[in-house]
Amino acid sequence: MTFPIRSAAVATGGIFVFARILDKIRLDAVGALPDGYHVGIIEGKRTFDDRLCRFLGVDFDALKTRVLAGGSDEEVLDWCFSVGGKPDEERIEIWNGFMRKRGWNDAASAGLQSQKEAAGLGHRDDIMTFFDLFDAEEGRA
């Protein structure tokens, strides 16, 4: 069985994390979001959902409403660009680099280690980023 949420490394319009967040929104709407997963903004925490919305200049609730109205990932991304503006290639490159390395020798390293241990993966030295952790937990690595 394929895990129902795509890897954070899947790019839509060249942007990492976007497809993953759309999957979570769609699954949550039909009550199929796997246990332990959250969708949206968590008060006082910087989540990937929060960071993506800030990067694209859109409100999470507005994004959720647009996703649930239907359309392809690319159509939803075009809507985001029309609302928040389209980042140029350099900003997308910086975003992708930051997100791909999140948890590796940065302010989120302790949180990554804590989540690895909670998942029973604390011994895995090959899991160095949150992308790695997601893929390991979801059977892709």
**For position 44, what pLDDT does the model report?**
78
Q: Taking the model in full, what pTM does it have? A: 0.94
**pLDDT of the residue at 45:** 82
Going by C-alpha positions, the residue among 133, 140, 135 that lies closest to residue 112 is 133
Domain boundaries, the chain: 1-100, 107-141
Listed as ranges, residues in the chain with pLDDT below 50 are none
Looking at residue 1, what is its pLDDT? 53
> Of all helices (H) and strands (E), which one includes residue 78?
helix 73-84
Predicted confidence at residue 87, as pLDDT, reads 98
> What's the confidence (pLDDT) of residue 2?
75
